[in-house]
Amino acid sequence: MTPKSIVSQILIFVFYLLLQIFFVRQLVLFDYAFCFVYVASIILLPFEINKMTLILLGFVAGITVDIFYNTIGANAASMTLIAFVRPAVIGVLAPQRGYDERQTLSLNSMGLSWFITYATTLIFIHHFVLFLLEASDWELFFPVMLKVICSTIFTTIIVVIIQFFRRD
């Protein structure tokens, strides 16, 4: 990884966090679909990043968003979880001949169906943990699941749309 690409990765990471905190926070559809586009900051890190860095970055992203959302630790918990689970999911979704050395983790290079499956899985796990922690009440299970599904769809759509704007 060249220094230039490291810098651009950091910028992309910070971009998704800022997008989340300042713009998307107010974006709620029909009271059920919330958008947590900062998940993309972890999902879209390159394939070759090592696990320790990934988990640490997930924790940092989660804590930062927590500070602004007033949910002390729920985002951090779910982000750390998907950071840990991400390599496993990538392994499960490996195409038949394994991943190419030079492939970047983006829509253009991996194809729509792979990308949507990958993003939806991680986003679903994230939202599931997040909303379950927030609700903390098993009585509310059905509305929580509804929230999770609607928000997953919404966030995935936004992440895919942002992908269309990338150049590589």
Partner 1 sequence: MYQLFQFISRQKAFILFTFLEVLSLWFFYSYNNYPNAIFFNTSNYYAAKALGTSNSIREYSNLRDVNTELASENSRLNATIAKLQAQQLDKSIVNYKADSNVASRFKFVVAKVLGLTTTQFNNYITIDKGSADGLTPGMGVMSSTGVVGKIKSCNEHFSVLISILHSEYSVSAKLKSNNEIGSVKWKGVNPDIVEMTEVSRYKTVNIKDTIVTSDFNYVFPPNIIIGYVKKVGVKPDQTFHEIDVQLATNFHTLAYVYVINNKLLGEQKALEEKSGDVKIK
Cβ-based nearer residue to partner 1, 58 or 151: 58
| Interaction of residue 70 with partner 1, rule CB under 8 A | yes
Q: Quick check: 77 binds partner 1 (CB under 8 A)?
A: yes
Binders of partner 1: how many residues, by CB under 8 A? Answer: 25
The residue written with tokens 């792979």 in the block is: 114
CA 93 to chain CA centroid, Å, is: 16
Of the candidate spans 9-17, 68-76, 95-103, 157-165, the one that interacts with partner 1 by CB under 8 A turns out to be 68-76
Distance (Å, rounded) from C-alpha 118 to C-alpha 120? 6
By C-beta, is 14 or 112 nearer to partner 1?
14
What is the per-residue DSSP string for 32-70? TEE--TTHHHHHTS-TT--HHHHHHHHHHHHHHHHHHHT
Question: Of the two residues 32 and 69, which places its CB atom closer to partner 1 in the complex?
Answer: 69
First to last CA, the chain: 16
Output the CA angle 167-79-16, nearest 5 degrees.
Answer: 30
Look at the alpha carbons of 83, 56, 42, 4 in this order and tell me if their dihedral is positive or negative: negative
| Among 6-14, 76-84, 91-99, 155-163, the segment contacting partner 1 (CB under 8 A) | 76-84
Tokens of 168: 């590589």
Residues 85-124 that bind partner 1 (CB under 8 A): none
Q: Is 126 a binder of partner 1 (CB under 8 A)? A: no
Select from 9, 12, 15, 21 the one that contacts partner 1 (CB under 8 A): 21
Piece in contact with partner 1 (CB under 8 A), picked from 5-13, 49-57, 118-126, 160-168: 49-57
Q: What is the largest CA-CA distance in the chain?
A: 51
Query: Which residues would be at the binding site for partner 1 (CB under 8 A)?
Result: 21-22, 51-52, 55-56, 58-59, 62-63, 66-68, 70-74, 76-77, 80-81, 83-84, 133
